[in-house]
Amino acid sequence: MKAIVQRVAQASVTVGGEQISSIGRGLCVLLGISLEDTQRELEHMVRKILNLRVFEDESGKHWSKSVMDKQYEVLCVSQFTLQCILKGNKPDYHMAMPTEQAESFYNNFLEQLRKAYKPELIKDGKFGAYMQVHIQNDGPVTIELESPAAAVDPKQLAKLEKQQQRKEKTRTKVPSESSRERNAPRSKDDPSASSGAEGDVSSEREP
């Protein structure tokens, strides 16, 4: 799990021209959920966000107080693009948790934040919607957080990515050909001699 945490003077979310959420001084959190995230990573991220010391104390000393210490607000926005892996210049999102699972996971994340803090001070955007997020960064101060399990070995990362790709392709897989048909040479004009591009779903999700 990855989070971009920004200290803000104010922040808001607009969907379809209508402002649906806003906060004053506090934190704006962009959250990216990965395939491998579990309740353990969720709880780790909740603790880190709420205890991150990015505010000054009463005497003006910097990096002394957390959002809870100051009783400020938190605006959370789900952003699967944080789990992007670049293939050349093309973003690939196979490491992001699928939408159906991610929505439930994200709602659980919000619930845990509200339980650990004050429910009325936790705001969020609209999951899966096309949003305009307006952030007035204060400082600027931007902190990148990553749960321990998110830092996987490159070989393990590649393995998880391939597994997700296979799942995506299985949904649209056509009946297999016979061995003779598979091994038969095909001309360039053969429409069935596909390059495989139509099975590429790496960028099919909209931000």
Band (66; pLDDT cuts 50, 70, 90): very high
CA–CA gap between residue 160 and residue 153 (Å, rounded): 11
pLDDT in tens, 34-64: 999 999 999 999 999 999 999 999 999 999 9
Residues 121-155 have pLDDT tens digits of 999 999 999 999 999 999 999 999 999 854 555 66
> How far apart, in whole angstroms, are the C-alpha atoms of residue 26 and residue 29?
10
Residue 12 has pLDDT above 70, yes or no: yes
Strand-pairing partners, residue 3, are 31, 145
CA dihedral for 20, 147, 25, 115, sign (positive or negative): positive
- Rounded to two decimals, what is the model's pTM? 0.73
Find how far residue 30's CA is from the centre of its chain: 7
